[in-house]
Homo-oligomer: A and B are copies of this chain.
Amino acid sequence: MPVRRVNKPVRDTKSALLDAAVRLVARGDGISSMRAIAREAGVTEGAIYKHFSSKDALLEAATEQVVARMLDEKRPLLDRDGTVHDAIRAWVEITLASYDAEPDAFTYGLLARPKRVDGPIAPTEVFRSQGALFARLFERGVANGECRPLDPDLAVALFSGAMLSVPRAIHEGRLAGPAADYAEPVFDAAWRLLAAD
Residues in chain A within 8 A of chain B (CB atoms)? 28-31, 112-117, 120, 124, 127-128, 131, 150-151, 153-154, 156-158, 160-166, 168-169, 172, 174-175, 182, 185-186, 189, 192-193
Q: Which of B117, B154, B164, B186 contacts A185 (CB 8 A)?
A: B154
Known: A128-B174, A175-B153. A193 touches B29 (CB 8 A): no
Other A-B pairs beyond A156-B174, A192-B192, 9, CB < 8 Å: A29-B114, A29-B117, A154-B185, A157-B168, A158-B165, A158-B166, A158-B189, A161-B164, A161-B168
Q: Which residues of B contact A168 (CB under 8 A)?
A: 157, 161
A174 to B117, CA, bound (A): 20
* Dominant SS among interface residues on chain A: helix
Q: Which residues of B contact A115 (CB under 8 A)?
A: 29-30
17 sample A-B contacts, Cβ–Cβ < 8 Å, listed by A number: A112-B113, A113-B113, A124-B172, A151-B185, A153-B175, A156-B169, A156-B174, A157-B168, A158-B162, A158-B165, A158-B166, A158-B186, A161-B163, A161-B164, A161-B165, A161-B166, A193-B193
A162 to B150, CA, bound (A): 14
Q: Copy number of this protein in the oligomer?
A: 4
Is there an interface contact between A113 and B161, defined as CB atoms closer than 8 Å?
Answer: no
How far apart are A157's CB and chain B's nearest CB, in angstroms? 4
How far apart are A135's CB and chain B's nearest CB, in angstroms? 11
How far apart are A30's CB and chain B's nearest CB, in angstroms? 4
